Amino acid sequence: MRMNAPVALGGFLLLLLSSVAVAQTGPAPAPQYAPPAPAPPPQYAPPAPAPPPQYAPPAPAPAPQYAPPVPAPAPQYAPPEEISLIRRYSVGPRVIFAPGVFIPSNGSAGFSLGVEGGYGFDLGPVILTPIVSFQGNWSSDWTVYTGLGGVRVTLPLGNFGPFVEGGVGYGHVGGPLGYSSGGLAVRGGAGFIIFFGDRVALGISGRYDAIIDTPFKGWTIAPMLLLTF
């Protein structure tokens, strides 16, 4: 069998190169054993000492804040309630001078003069005044003297005060032809009074007086001048 000369030559060259490569390479070296490196001994680290406790002094209590006491509110001034002059000056001690006209039930008219002292008590709706009264009546027919204890009740209406009064006591009568007698005297009356200032008032009263067991009976119409203290 005839081979192609170039092919044969190429195969020969290939075989030759393979042999040379094998000769240069040689057998593979045996693996080198490297024992494992020993683990480094553990490094002992002593535990870190706990830091000493830091002393913190207790915080001082805050100083008390001084709050000045709240002043009490000033009292609100309330002006006193207005009091009527009648109520103001009819309460307490009082003296009344009462000159007037004497009109007997029989005989001629004459002149009368009375003085009266009392002390008024405010009972709310009315003023109650116990009184002691002395009065003299003179005319051409009669001379009459009376001393009585009684009471007056006044209704205060601002500066105006109507009143009623009554009393009992002793009276003495002197009459015509030498008549003279005494006995129980009784009185009833009414009137009013008006204040014009702090201490002075004027008024008028009408009184009916009688002395029991005598012929004397009569009216006295008297303006009044009142002085208070």
**DSSP label of 77:** P
Domain of 157 in residue numbering reads as 85-228
- Give pLDDT tens digits for 106-153: 888 999 999 999 999 999 899 999 999 999 999 988 899 999 999 999
> What value does the mean pLDDT take over residues 161-174?
95
**Structure confidence at residue 94 (pLDDT):** 83
Left, alpha or beta for 177 (phi > 0: left; psi -120 to 50: alpha)?
A: left
Least-confidence region, from 7-11, 48-52, 224-228: 7-11
**Structure confidence at residue 159 (pLDDT):** 86
Q: Read off the amino acid at residue 19.
A: S
Q: How far apart are CA 138 and CA 140, in angstroms?
A: 7
* Under 8 Å between Cβ of 151 and 132: no
95 in a structural domain: yes
Does the structure show a pLDDT above 50 at 2?
no
Q: Read off the amino acid at residue 89.
A: Y
214 in a structural domain: yes
**DSSP label of 75:** P
109 in a structural domain: yes
Does the structure show a pLDDT above 70 at 59?
yes
179 in a structural domain: yes
70 in a structural domain: no
10 in a structural domain: no
**Structure confidence at residue 19 (pLDDT):** 55
Q: What is the CATH number of the domain that holds 130?
A: 2.40.160.20
Q: How far apart are CA 123 and CA 136, in angstroms?
A: 32
Higher-pLDDT residue of 210, 49 = 210
Task: Spell out the residues 6+ positions from residue 167 whose beta carbon is closer than 8 angstroms to its own.
Answer: 131, 133, 148, 149, 150, 151, 186, 187
Q: How far apart are CA 167 and CA 209, in angstroms?
A: 10
30 in a structural domain: no
Sole residue written with tokens 């535990």: 47
- Give pLDDT tens digits for 112-122: 999 999 999 99
* Under 8 Å between Cβ of 142 and 107: yes
> What value does the mean pLDDT take over residues 73-88?
65
| Confidence bin at 27 (pLDDT 50/70/90) | low
In whole numbers, what is the pLDDT of the chain averaged over residues? 80
**Structure confidence at residue 152 (pLDDT):** 95
**Structure confidence at residue 206 (pLDDT):** 94
In degrees rounded to 5, what are phi and psi of residue 109?
Answer: -70, 165
User: How many domains does the chain fold into?
Assistant: 1
Q: What is the DSSP string of 112-133?
A: EEEEEEEEEEE-SSSEEEEEEE
Q: What does the block give as tokens for 163?
A: 């009143």
42 in a structural domain: no
